[in-house]
Each structure stands twice: as C-alpha cells, then as structure tokens.
Amino acid sequence: MLVIFGGLPGSGKTTVAQALAKRLKGVYVRVDTIEQALRNSDVLKADEGPAGYVIAYGVAEDNLKLGQTVVADSVNSIRITRDAWLSVAKRAGTRAVEVEVVCSDRIEHRRRAETRATDVEGLVKPTWDEIVNRTYEDWGTRPIVVDTAHRAVDDLVAELAIRLERAQS
C-alpha cells in the first residue's frame, strides 16, 4: 500500500506521517529530505523543480514492488503531483490511499509554522506568508482528511491506521 500524505507546511503532516510509518513498519519517503540532499550535493545550481518528487516516486515504486508499505510525505500541493503518486501505486500493482493533513485552527497552524524546528539539516522553512500564499489546489473528495488542530498525534495515528485497514478491505 502507498499512503500519500499532503498538506501545508506546519500542518503536522510530517509528524503524523513519521508516526504512521513507524506504526506500520513501513518505508518512509520524504520529499523535503530528497530536495535538501539535492541542494547539498551542488548538482543543481538552481531551483530543484520537480526533481525531488521524481526521485521520491522512483524510491517509493521500488519499495512497493518489494511488497513494502510506503508512506510518502510531501506538501503535494497540486493535482499533477497527487496524480503522479497514484500512478506510482498503479505501476507497482498496489493500492494508494491519499491523506490530507490540515490544521483547522489558523492561530495554532501559524504558531507551529513559526516555532517548529526542522530535522533536515540545511532546510530553510517557509515563512507564514509563504505558506498561506502558496498554490494549494483543492483535493476534492479523494483523501482521508486528518485535522491536527486539537488532537494528540498518537490518537490521530491510531484512528488513521484503522481507516487504512478498512480502506484495504
């Protein structure tokens, strides 16, 4: 199974995705880590564009073909990247489940965005203005929506694991 996460920076997406990957003993693929590694390598002198996503698709597909559950963590803000993740699952012959992480409390979301630390060395976090002004296309009715505003991560992950189990049935 491919669990495709998406959500604005600071929504709690990475925290939930990492906890779910740990619970499922799945492979965790994070686009932020890949993009920062590309920047650190000096291979790309300009904006990395879609390279981080394209690499993540390949790593995810390899692991899906090995029978692993993959948890993909990225902002995933536009339909083209979401559809590309779905294509990865299709090529690997496995099910895909989309999970959109939101923080419905705007004040809490801003607090998180402005105070969170990053565990990816060298990664520059976006400002609050960059977060709220970025292109973020509506997901429609496809995803499971997880609201992190006032819930403990363990509770969210336990509930999400049950929903994923049902989705596989």
- 130-150 per-position pLDDT tens digit: 999 999 999 988 799 999 999
**CATH code, domain carrying 111:** 3.40.50.300
Name the DSSP class of 25.
T
For the stretch 112-121, what's the b/e string if a residue is b when 16 or more beta carbons lie within 10 angstroms of its beta carbon? bbeeeeeebe
Question: What is the DSSP-derived secondary structure letter of residue 90?
Answer: H
What is the pTM (predicted TM-score) of this model? 0.94
Tokens of 152: 């403990």
Q: Kindly list the distances between the CA atom of residue 69 and the CA atoms of 2, 4, 41, 80, 165, in Å, as whole numbers in the listed order.
A: 6, 11, 29, 22, 12
Residue 61: strand, helix, or coil: helix
Tens of pLDDT, residues 104-121: 999 999 999 999 998 898
**What span, in angstroms and rounded, lies between the C-alpha atoms of 128 and 114?**
7
- Cα–Cα distance measured from residue 93 to residue 144, given in angstroms and rounded to the nearest whole number: 21
- Residue 167: pLDDT band by 50, 70, 90 thresholds? confident
What is residue 22's three-state secondary structure? Answer: helix
Owning domain of residue 51: 2-168
Q: How confident is the model at residue 39 (pLDDT cuts 50, 70, 90)?
A: confident
- Domains held by the chain: number: 1
Give tens-digit pLDDT for 68-82: 999 999 999 999 999
- How large is the average pLDDT for residues 50-69? 97
pLDDT of residue 46: 67
Residue for token digits 């049935």? Answer: 169
